[in-house]
Structure 1
Amino acid sequence: MSETLERPVDTAVGGIAADRLRSIIERVERLEAERKALTGDIGDIFAEAKSAGFDVKVIRQLLRLRRREPAEVEAEETLLAIYRRALGL
């Protein structure tokens, strides 16, 4: 009588847990799809801002500034003002 061995649910192939790897890949794929959707939504908001007369380039600069520490921004602005005065701008 020959016995058939069934593979466990978390199959290891070449020392790799295939089910775990598949799970990780599928999670990344889902997040990439969400990111793509969010990128589209953000683009729509920028288009809305532009159609309302706002300068999108300036809005992007403001968003970058808001992500930084206030002290860092202040130090950079102070240095920029000094450089401008030195160049007569």
Structure 2
Amino acid sequence: MDDGKLTEAAKEKLRLTIERIERLEEEKKEVADQIKDVFAEAKSMGYDTKALRQVIRIRKQDRQEREEAEAILETYLIALGEI
């Protein structure tokens, strides 16, 4: 878009949209830093952070979908002689 084709109202909406995205990006960074701190705290208490991340990922999944994926994984591992 050519700057000359935007009305003042459109320019203002664009500016506000960009500023809103920038604020949300900053909030996202702050939350990511907080999560990092919680993982560091968990590690200092002796928890395995890799396992914690896996538990969190699993808990986000739909139970039925997770069970189906686990069944397929088990089938593959059996076929490969891994279990």
What is the one-letter code of the residue matched to 2:37? Answer: D
For residues 1-60 of structure 1, the C-alpha deviation after alignment (integer angstroms, 9 at most, x for no partner) is: xxxxxxxxxxxx522211111100111111111111111000000101111111111111
> In the alignment, which of 38, 44, 62 is matched to residue 45 of structure 1?
38
1:15 to 5, 24, 41: 5
Identity of aligned residues (%): 47
More strand by share: 1
RMSD value over aligned CA atoms?
1.2
Task: Kindly name which structure, 1 or 2, has the bigger radius of gyration based on alpha carbons.
Answer: 1
- Take 2:13 and 2:32, find their aligned partners in 1: how far apart are those partners? 29
The TM-score, its normalising length taken from structure 1, stands at 0.79
Q: Report whether the alignment pairs 1:75 with 2:68.
A: yes
Query: Which residue is equivalent to 2:23?
Result: 30
TM-score with structure 2 setting the length? 0.84
1:54 is aligned with what amino acid?
Y
User: Equivalents in 2 of 1:18, 1:86: separation in Å?
Assistant: 61
Quick one: which amino acid aligns to residue 80 of structure 1?
L
Q: Tell me, which stretches of 5 or more residues in structure 1 are unaligned? A: 1-12
Aligned length: 77
Residue 14 of structure 1 aligns to a residue whose secondary structure is helix
Judging by fraction of residues, say which structure has more helix: 2
Structure 1 runs of 4+ aligned residues shifted over 4 Å read none
